[in-house]
Amino acid sequence: MATLDGSQSAAGRGGRPRNSDVARIRTRFMRLGPQQRALIVAIRPFNDDQGRFDRRKWEEAFISSDPETIHQVVGVTGTFERLVNHLNGMLEAGARLAQLPVMGGQDAPSGPAVINAVRDDGGLTANQAEVLIRLNRTRNRLQHASFDVQADEMHADTELLLKTLKRLVTSYVKWLARDGIQLLPPEGKRRAR
């Protein structure tokens, strides 16, 4: 199977690599850090004096009718949606590469179906799958019924996303590496930061 650094390895699970999925994962993986940092920047107007995402400030802003405040709130909710969409895209491409049955139908599978399939294949822990399903549910409600989302729920899920993202990505990278798909350069080839 083609690795993301351009080298070749044996095709995982007897399947052929799909170069477009490898390229898609690579692009998404490279954009993940900037999108996470964008969410951190978006919540800054709602931070307390210690730099923590302040629930009270957020709740006041969330129900505000001031256009500038609404714009700041949409910066958080929109970036949250984008980051969750980004994770979904990575999971779907990985599920196709791993040839998980959930990807074999004519219709696109739901986010929870893909998450559960990746979990069942060892790519996520049960807790990580629960977190991703929760974040997906909030994302769906933001997209389709935004007035149903409460400020405290959005606050909690934004913090949850930022808190768990690194572990989710670590599990994902290890899962793909099992099939010879390397998202990170080998230890000796990583650049010092």
Q: Which amino acid is at 41?
A: V
Give the pLDDT of residue 184.
67
Residue 41 has pLDDT above 60, yes or no: yes
pLDDT band at 49 (very low <50, low <70, confident <90, very high): very high
pLDDT, position 120? 97
> Is the CB of residue 173 less than 8 Å from the CB of residue 183?
yes
pTM of the model: 0.84
57 compared with 143, residue with greater pLDDT? 57
Report the percentage of the chain scoring pLDDT > 90. Answer: 67
Q: What burial letters (b/e) apply to 73-89, b meaning 16+ CB within 10 Å? A: bebbbebbbebbbbbbe
Query: Which candidate, 102, 136, 100, 93, places its Cα nearest to that of 121?
Result: 100
Angle at 50 between CA 47 and CA 70, to 5 degrees: 5
Average pLDDT on 36-60 reads: 97
**In the prediction, which pLDDT does 175 show?**
95
Q: What is the mean pLDDT of residues 60-89?
A: 96
Per-domain residue ranges for the chain?
A: 12-181
Residues with Cβ within 8 Å of 81's Cβ and at least 6 positions away in sequence, in order, are 139, 142, 143
pLDDT of residue 28: 87
- Check whether 185 has a pLDDT greater than 90: no
